[in-house]
Chains A and B, each alone.
Chain A
Amino acid sequence: MNKSILGVLGALALTIAACAGATTNGGASGSPAATTAAKPDIKVGAVLSLTGVGNVYGPTQRNGLQLAVDAINAAGGANGAKLQLIVEDDQSTTDGGITAFKKLTAQDRVTVIFGPTLSNTAVAADPVAQSAQTPVIAISNTGDGIVGKCDYGPCDYIFRVSLGESAAIPQTVKTVKAKLNIKSVVLMYAQDDKFSSDGFAIFKKNLTSAGITIKKEIAFSKNDVDLSGPVTQALAEDPDAIVDSSLAGPAIKVLQEVNRRKPGLPVIGGNGFNTPAIAKSAGAAAEGAISGAAWYLGNPSAENKAFVSAYKAKFNADPDQFAAQAYSAVYVYLDAVKRTPNPTSVLHDKLRDQLALTTGVSTPLGEVSFNASHDVSQQVYVVQIKNGQFTPIN
């Protein structure tokens, strides 16, 4: 019984492998677009973390995308063609991301993919879209190596609407130096989390080149149940400010501890600070926290006010930065698609070329353009929490 079942197993394995090998090229032999009276829907895909560790961000991203797509379709679509949004869950894993990307490019043949939510997934899944020649617009990846110069080779199909930390942090550092006259800091960071470690490297570089002394670098774990020890150690160095490169969980704990021991000491962070959860959980301790953001709720621009009220009306809650970036990405895409002849064609190189020419698209983030590295070029809002709200200080 052993041997024959093993034989079947082996044969099955070889069959699967053979078929997969024969179709490894991405299945690009599609049928030509139908020419009927009504314009065919333009398929847009999204790969989001709706389950798993990233599911804090995925759902609001989906909301932002849906809101934009619905609004665009209600206003007549893209040159008369409606957008059809297909959302896949990557379960916050790289395998899930790669599978979702492959499904969207090979089976659904979407014209663009928004996402994936997490940077870890992006570095693994973006190459799939690149080789399938499908544009990707990152809506929440903020690390290095996502666009421009990528470790896996050419990545000209990858674009990014989410403000990179390498663009936000220099502005943050510049502003705190100018406005708060910071001369020395202690740099704390979560060492076992990619976002935080990336941010740490960028902070270190920019603080040093701004002439700010880093008195100590203190690493902690994103799973530390309490950060009073590291914070106490940091405060013993008597810095002008504490810089914390971490996500919201540790940030809340750092703010709480600083407020207990040295209230009023500035705490500066990266994109991990840009969530309302910080003000809600840390309360008074969050007052004065500074970070560089791509968007803030109270931005009085017409675009943003319309977005916020539409989001509130539909989802009964304030939007967050993730929703705003997702929403804006759809409008950036729309702008490019309108300039692309025959957007539902099988090849998307023209769409890619038009995306690269994106300039001054009005969004809730402000005016958005893509630079030569396909990275977003927009105003950086250096914000500070005042009365529980993010308020720009630059």
Chain B
Amino acid sequence: MDDIGAFLVAYQTTIGTIGINALLALSVWLTLYTGQLTLGNAAFAGIAAYSSALLTLKAGLPFPLALAAGAMLAAAVSVPLGATVFRLRGVYLAIATLAFGEVVRVAILAIPITGRGQGLVGIPPKTELWHVFASLVVIAYVCARLRSSSVGRAWAAIREDEVAAASQGIPVRRYQLVAFVLGALIAGWAGGLAAHFDYAIQPDEFGFARAVQILVFAVVGGIPNVFGPILGALLFTALPAILQPLQEYRDIFQGAILVLVIVFLPRGLVTVFELRRTARLRTMGAEDVA
């Protein structure tokens, strides 16, 4: 047990990061499930990370309250943002949320209280592994239930064909907004957890690169069910640790995995457990839709 104990202590951070990344991937999954490509969730995580950290650091707020406040703030910001950008589609929506992310990053750099380019340091390390995994289990469960409920079916309908869904009486904008705001809430919760996991945060951690990273977790993991994004987050976060002896080639492996999965497992890595279903869909020419 001592060796296992030492192993767990050493990789505690990686395990925690897997959990946080899984939460972020789930937040993106929600919007992808409704057919929206958004790149703003890293920024929502950043907003919540900074606000919750400042609340515990400067205002001495208890950890759970600060987490909740951060997540709520992210969700609150997402409402007007979502309302404004949903008239855009596809790539335009993605770029608009990307632009939003950049504006957030610049704001963090400009506001003195965030520590600006020097980052925010000395954050009390309150996040424990059980916080992360309890959150993950609860949120994954909620997402899974939503998916198999009428809300989830509406989302899937919107994803397939927005016009057809609208003609069936589904209030498209409202359902999209719900997914978007829920995604922001989850991303914010994850951001708050992340801020209190590492003693310090930097604006760079929540920028374009991070947004792309969590998008990759979700898409490569797979959209059909909630295990997809979790699997994607697990694989890519653990990859550096797994590839330790080959770390010089890590980027090459990561790149190759991305291309191979997208080309050969179109609905994501998680579909490797349901290859027969994919083959059946392929005969219908529908293998890229969940």
Residues of chain A touching chain B, judged by Cβ–Cβ distance below 8 Å, are: 2, 5-6, 9-10, 13-14, 16-24, 26-27, 29, 50-51, 89, 91, 94-96, 98-99, 102-103, 106-107, 120, 123-124, 127, 143, 145, 151-152, 190-194, 196-198, 201
B10 touching A89, Cβ below 8 Å: no
A24 touching B9, Cβ below 8 Å: yes
B6 touching A27, Cβ below 8 Å: yes
Most buried by A among B5, B17, B105: B5
**Complex interface residues of chain B between 1 and 47 (CB less than 8 A to chain A):** 2, 4-15, 17, 19
Instruction: List B contacts of A192 (CB < 8 A).
Output: 105, 109, 117, 203-204
A9 touching B140, Cβ below 8 Å: yes
For the complex, give the distance between the alpha carbons of A184 and B216 in Å.
50
A99 touching B117, Cβ below 8 Å: no
A194 touching B11, Cβ below 8 Å: no
For the complex, give the distance between the alpha carbons of A27 and B2 in Å.
8
Q: For the complex formed, measure the closest distance between the CB of B122 and the CB atoms of chain A, giving whole angstroms.
A: 3
B240 touching A91, Cβ below 8 Å: yes
Instruction: List A contacts of B109 (CB < 8 A).
Output: 191-192
**Does residue B269 face the partner (Cβ distance < 8 Å to A)?**
no
Contact of B199 among A5, A13, A20, A124 (CB under 8 A): A124
Instruction: List B contacts of A50 (CB < 8 A).
Output: 247-248
Instruction: List A contacts of B203 (CB < 8 A).
Output: 192
Q: For the complex formed, measure the closest distance between the CB of A244 and the CB atoms of chain B, giving whole angstroms.
A: 15
Residue of B nearest to A121 (CB): B200
Residue of A nearest to B205 (CB): A94
Q: On chain B, which size bracket covers the interface?
A: 35 or more
Instruction: List B contacts of A120 (CB < 8 A).
Output: 119, 200, 202
| CB-CB under 8 A for A145 and B121, given A21-B129, A51-B248, A197-B116 | yes
Q: For the complex formed, measure the closest distance between the CB of A34 and the CB atoms of chain B, giving whole angstroms.
A: 18
For the complex, give the distance between the alpha carbons of A367 and B134 in Å.
54
For the complex, give the distance between the alpha carbons of A26 and B8 in Å.
10
Instruction: List B contacts of A16 (CB < 8 A).
Output: 8, 15, 129, 133
Shortest 6 CB-CB contacts between residues of A and residues of B: A151-B122, A197-B117, A13-B133, A23-B5, A103-B10, A17-B130
Instruction: List A contacts of B119 (CB < 8 A).
Output: 120, 123, 194
Instruction: List A contacts of B125 (CB < 8 A).
Output: 127
For the complex, give the distance between the alpha carbons of A281 and B20 in Å.
41
**CB-CB contacts of B50-77 with A at 8 A, as 1s and 0s?**
0000000000000000000000000000
Q: For the complex formed, measure the closest distance between the CB of A304 and the CB atoms of chain B, giving whole angstroms.
A: 31
**Does residue B92 face the partner (Cβ distance < 8 Å to A)?**
no
**Does residue B288 face the partner (Cβ distance < 8 Å to A)?**
no
B198 touching A94, Cβ below 8 Å: yes
Q: For the complex formed, measure the closest distance between the CB of B11 and the CB atoms of chain A, giving whole angstroms.
A: 6
**CB-CB contacts of B238-261 with A at 8 A, as 1s and 0s?**
001100000110110000000000
Contact of A6 among B128, B141, B241, B247 (CB under 8 A): B141
B14 touching A95, Cβ below 8 Å: yes
A5 touching B13, Cβ below 8 Å: no
Q: For the complex formed, measure the closest distance between the CB of A167 and the CB atoms of chain B, giving whole angstroms.
A: 18
| CB-CB under 8 A for A127 and B118, given A20-B12, A21-B130, A27-B9 | no
**Does residue B281 face the partner (Cβ distance < 8 Å to A)?**
no
A106 touching B10, Cβ below 8 Å: yes
